[in-house]
Structure 1
């Protein structure tokens, strides 16, 4: 069920679906900015791939998974159709000059990547795709860390935005791989529709923030991961990644084409778009929507265990919060922290020495929810108290104004 990929090879695995538990409140969407990269594939029919945006992986070495295709740069395998789509075509053919690790290749296809043209850390990565179908057909839209050449796989990290295997025509998979959670231990989720995915175009996306990646099919979330899911292993999704589009034929996970598989098979890509992640920059006040007051360290005294409160907004260091790259929220040299790493409703939100515990990771979503990632609960003003001194705790995310925060 796993495949191994490096820059020419990596690993993907399909496990059972890992969905959000029933009844667990979901944080709101990520803070997403403007488009930073896109390809709309609007060139005339027969136009080759824009190599200012995409380059090709070429070869037939099995790609770490005993795949049967030879990837080419030919317009027979990747070309614009003149109707606003990129078409990646898998064909049954075995020309003598296409040698695979097991002998002469049986199929050709294409694998496009942006490693030499575009990388980005964080943001929204989305494509609208009509996938191919059939036993042994394996389309994918995915990403690898840009440090593959220096640290290798899985230390560079892998984010699989969309994968489908033809023997499961109605199911999309989303997965991450990293050190200690690769191959069969990859962290995956899935969503299954009533109709085969190949019947229609669908949008496949991830929203990626520091310490959070969320998968969507047609705008509906179906999988979410953060460092608390890694069992103490290292989170490696904190640096730029590049994108890959490909259609594989055969392999350890999908199996191989059989008498039912028809060729050629085509994947149509309407667009690929990347949007920025909105970062906070330097220190900022966090103003409550209900009270109009700001998150504050009492008496500007950064003692461990100080219970955070709301107070009239001011320009002191006690209200100057920084969202650090490790997912912590810091002021006066210390970190916002749920008391005793608690995850339950009512857990006090305190100030504590930064210690690397995943419990200290928070994210401020685009909808204004300040979410503790370990608890999957929101920073909330206790008892809707709008007055100076109102204390903070964790509570199920309800969308209420006493849980809404903005940078002020």
Structure 2
């Protein structure tokens, strides 16, 4: 693919945002690039924006943060990102419209190179939604013209602590205006970033241009592969083997970004043939989970000492809710699914060791699924439920069978307080 620079994030402006995240993790399986479609065990939708709202209104602030500034974003871009409805607004017909405009000499907006020539918009979900693994898709009609650079992409939510590219970047779709019929899908990580990113391009047949109509751009992402597709046709798959001796960093939650850049090292600057304003029109953005039903190994009540059930306290699905023993009632708070991905789920969230601790006595809780070792369990033939990261057993505190007894992990001893039946 054409050499290009990745869209680095302004760490200063988003460091606080990146410390806050709603993490939803799921696991899926993929076929290779030879398939006619990108197949995966895709399950329930976990997040979406259909952009319903009044014409001229701002994007939903509970879902999107509008970035501002004209730093060039490490790519010598020429735009200033604003939070104005002049640059990002709903059209009243179920679309988000991101508009790049010429700024004019009297705009007063300052860019890395001087007075900004263009304004546009960049939106992210760092504060509202992050997820590891799954299907991420958007239906978009891109702009046209030299120097235009629309993108639908994702960044690892740990960028504030590890920096780019160690956090990882997944470019679901990028287009440069000089290639009207081609989009690119790329990943960036340590040792394979910028012009060395791993990916490929997809070109529409018959000389068609992506700006002529809406197209659906997607990735299906599992712990073992990432597959890109356009309108359901898979065109590229990358796996950890492609990173060689470099670290594969696509193993943690990412957040979503939409933006329309103008100019920069890859697309080049607009010229006399480029008309303004230019628009990137987004019909929807959706994320879906791995289908737990298709990978279920066991499900039902988890019964322990004294015939008591593992129970989510108060039937609350809030992160950090204690998991305890309780008299069996058959309620949803006592219905668990053991997936082939190693998770144990109830109420749409995962059984989790608080803080990822491996110490004896670390309490277990309900928490948004995030793919970490704190949420990986194995059920042994001896009826032990073992947290594989800690190599310790699910344990009823103090060998008690009383209602409200907290569950924890503890070195496996074979005691009755560590034996569990499922179903």
TM-score computed with the length of structure 1 as normaliser: 0.66
Q: Which residue of 2 aligns with 1:2?
A: 4
Q: 2:208 pairs with 174, 182, 195, which one?
A: 195
- Aligned pair 1:234/2:244, yes or no? no
Report deviation, 1:323: 3.8
Distance 1:25 1:257, change over 3 A: closer
CA distance in 1, matches of 2:219, 2:269: 29
- Mapped pair 1:99 → 2:101: no
Determine whether 1:82 maps to 2:92: yes
Deviations 1:83-120 (A, max 9, x none): 11100000011344310011000000000000011111
Q: Matches of residues 322-337 of structure 1 in structure 2 within 5 Å?
A: 323=341
Q: Write out aligned runs for 1:1-400 (5 A).
A: 1-8=3-10, 29-94=39-104, 95-193=106-204, 194-279=207-292, 284=297, 323=341
When residues 25 and 223 of structure 1 are mapped into structure 2, their CA distance, relative to the original with a 3 A threshold, is closer
Q: State how many pairs are aligned.
A: 289
Match of 1:289 in 2: none
Shift of residue 277, structure 1, vs aligned partner? 1.8
Using a 3 Å threshold, how does the CA distance of structure 1 residues 86 and 191 change in structure 2: closer, same or farther? same
> 1:235: Cα distance to partner?
1.0
* CA distance in structure 1 between the aligned counterparts of 2:340 and 2:214, rounded to whole angstroms: 41
State the partner residue of 1:402.
Answer: none
Residues in 2 aligned to 1:173 and 1:329: alpha-carbon distance in whole angstroms:
38
Q: 1:50-69 CA distances to partner (integer Å, 9 max, x unpaired)?
A: 11010011100111010000
Matched with 1:388 is none
Contact 1:8 1:57 in 2 (8 A): no
Unaligned runs of 5+ in 1: 10-19, 286-319, 334-407
Shift of 1:176: 0.3
Is the alpha carbon distance of 1:92 and 1:203 closer, same or farther for their aligned partners in structure 2, counting shifts above 3 Å?
same
Q: 1:6, 1:152 within 8 Å by CA — same for their partners in 2?
A: no
Q: Distance in 2 between matches of 1:29 and 1:326?
A: 24
Residue 284 of structure 1 deviates from its aligned partner by 3.4
d(CA) in 1 for partners of 2:120 and 2:35?
42
**Secondary structure, in 3 states, of the residue corresponding to 1:132?**
coil
Assess if the C-alpha contact under 8 Å between 2:43 and 2:292 holds in 1. Answer: no
- Residue 331 (structure 1) shift: 9.6
| CA deviation profile, 1:297-340 (whole Å, cap 9, x unmatched) | xxxxxxxxxxxxxxxxxxxxxxx99546699999989xxxxxxx
Alpha-carbon distance in 1 for matches of 2:41, 2:273: 45
Check the 8 A contact 1:211/1:237 in 2, yes or no. no
Contact 1:322 1:330 in 2 (8 A): no
Which deviations, in whole Å up to 9, do the C-alpha atoms of 1:16-74 show, x marking residues without a partner? xxxx78xx678971111111111111111111111101001110011101000000000
**Which residue matches 2:22?**
none
- CA distance in 1: counterparts of 2:132 and 2:194, whole angstroms: 23
Give the TM-score of the pair, scaled to structure 2.
Answer: 0.63
Post-superposition shift, 1:242?
Answer: 0.3
Rate the CA distance shift 1:111–1:175 in 2: closer, same or farther, 3 A. same
Partner Cα distance (2:165, 2:67) in 1: 19
CA distance in 2, matches of 1:105, 1:78: 18
Partner Cα distance (1:59, 1:276) in 2: 34
In 2, Cα distance between the equivalents of 1:51 and 1:25?
38
Q: CA RMSD in A?
A: 2.9
